[in-house]
Amino acid sequence: MNSAGGPKLSPTAEAIRKGDRRALARAITLIESSRPDHRARAEKLIDELLPHTGRAIRVAVSGAPGVGKSTFIEAFGLHVVGEGRQLAVLAVDPSSARSGGSILGDKTRMEQLAKREAVYIRPSPAGGQLGGTARRTREAMLLCEAAGFDLVLVETVGVGQSETAVADMVDLFLLLIAPGAGDDLQGIKRGILEVADLVVITKADGDLATLARHTEADYRSALSLLRPASPHWTPKVMACSALEAKGLDAVWQAVLAHHDALTLPGELAAKRAHQARAWLASEVRDGLIALLQDDAAIAALFARLESTVESGRMAAPAAARQILAAFTEKAR
Ligand SMILES: Nc1nc2c(ncn2[C@@H]2O[C@H](COP(=O)(O)OP(=O)(O)O)[C@@H](O)[C@H]2O)c(=O)[nH]1
Ligand SMILES: [Mg+2]
């Protein structure tokens, strides 16, 4: 029996529980691998550590490239560490794999933070597609929680589908916005604004300070037109400067207020339960597609029907039924 009263943990799990950084880093590398034997070990490890997760506040930091996410995380991170928090930062940036540049940029931008004892920073792995990234991030988050981190920040680019996937694994979605271009809301899709619990106008300093106030007002009125997703929380809009370390405590207090507001009525637990269910469904979906692709004949049929559907010669539902029929036939 270990201290938590559960079954005895494996040495790896025990090391992670004790906060051993190298064990944590190795475990995250393991979950990033798609080799079947690695997957099997990763699943076992996650399962073992699951009872030791769930005690962190999970926050997504999203926004367009260049808005200031990494700089914000550095400044905000230093602030919360000063408040006694243990912080893990996970980067999900599908574009960084392609450009190859932003990981290096992020490392320098989080230079001070990276030196802190209470901080663990994990850049996003190169390659892989979105589904894989979402799974790896969720699993990495659980490992970090088991290692004792009580605040997890997930940096994600506010374009494409990645933020919806990330919104599905965090408690709070923080959308960063740069001053200016309030009219078109900077091309930020309405869908992203709808999942935002906190909108933070960053770079509210120097020449941009006045513009930042206008942008803040614009977003406040845009948000007032949306129905809040939660009965216990109305999304907030605030401004800060990561460069001058101003307004960061207000953001932190809002994160804590959101956490309290959702915890007391049981909404946080319900939200996480719902996320766990959705995770299961997506794992089953991914697993089924992998099974289909494993069979050469079905994979060929899949590819053939894909182009049929692409060219508009057949609708997706009929094509999907054909593929599934071939699969169930095979399973018989
Ligand atoms: N004036 C000002 N510039 C900032 C601030 N935060 C970030 N920047 C600048 O904005 C640029 C992009 O920042 P970065 O954090 O890499 O953005 P990311 O792509 O969203 O991670 C950099 O040149 C930063 O120096 C801020 O609070 N004030
Ligand atoms: Mg960045």
Q: What is the pLDDT of residue 75?
A: 97
In angstroms, rounded to a whole number, what is the distance separating the alpha carbons of residues 220 and 199? 9
- The domain spans of the chain are 1-50, 53-265, 277-331
DSSP one-letter code for 125:
P
Q: What is the pLDDT of residue 156?
A: 85
In angstroms, rounded to a whole number, what is the distance separating the alpha carbons of residues 276 and 53? 13
Give the number of the atom of ligand 1 that is nearest the alpha carbon of residue 63. Answer: 20
Q: What is the pLDDT of residue 252?
A: 98
For the domain 277-331, what is the CATH code?
1.10.287
Q: What is the pLDDT of residue 223?
A: 92
CA of 150 to the centre of ligand 2 (A): 22
Give the number of the atom of ligand 1 that is nearest the alpha carbon of residue 208. Answer: 1
Ligand closest to the CA atom of residue 96 = 2
Q: What is the pLDDT of residue 126?
A: 53
Is the C-beta atom of 205 inside 6 A of ligand 1?
yes
DSSP one-letter code for 198:
E
Name the residue with the closest Cα to ligand 1, atom 14.
68
One pLDDT digit (tens) per residue for the chain, 332 residues: 445 556 789 999 999 999 999 999 999 999 988 888 999 999 999 999 999 999 999 999 998 888 999 999 999 999 999 999 999 999 876 554 444 444 444 555 788 999 999 999 998 765 555 556 778 889 999 999 999 999 999 998 765 566 678 889 999 999 999 998 555 555 566 778 889 999 999 999 999 999 999 999 999 998 998 888 899 999 999 999 999 999 999 999 999 999 999 999 999 999 999 999 999 998 899 889 889 988 999 999 999 999 999 999 999 999 999 999 999 998 88
Number of H helices, E strands in the chain: 15, 7
Return the CATH superfamily for domain 53-265: P-loop containing nucleotide triphosphate hydrolases (3.40.50.300)
Label residues 122-152 b or e (16+ Cβ within 10 Å = b): bbbbeeeeeeebbbbbbbbbbbbbbbbbbbb
- The CATH architecture assigned to 1-50 reads Up-down Bundle (1.20)
Is the C-beta atom of 124 inside 6 A of ligand 1?
no
Q: What is the pLDDT of residue 192?
A: 83
Pocket test for ligand 1, best of 67, 71, 159, 205 (most atoms within 8 A of CB): 71
CA of 65 to the centre of ligand 1 (A): 9
Q: What is the pLDDT of residue 245?
A: 97
In angstroms, rounded to a whole number, what is the distance separating the alpha carbons of residues 50 and 45? 9
Name the residue with the closest Cα to ligand 1, atom 19.
66
Q: What three-state secondary structure class fits 188?
A: coil
CA of 244 to the centre of ligand 1 (A): 11
Q: What is the pLDDT of residue 312?
A: 95
Q: What is the pLDDT of residue 295?
A: 92
Q: What three-state secondary structure class fits 168?
A: coil
Is the C-beta atom of 62 inside 6 A of ligand 1?
no
Q: What is the pLDDT of residue 184?
A: 57
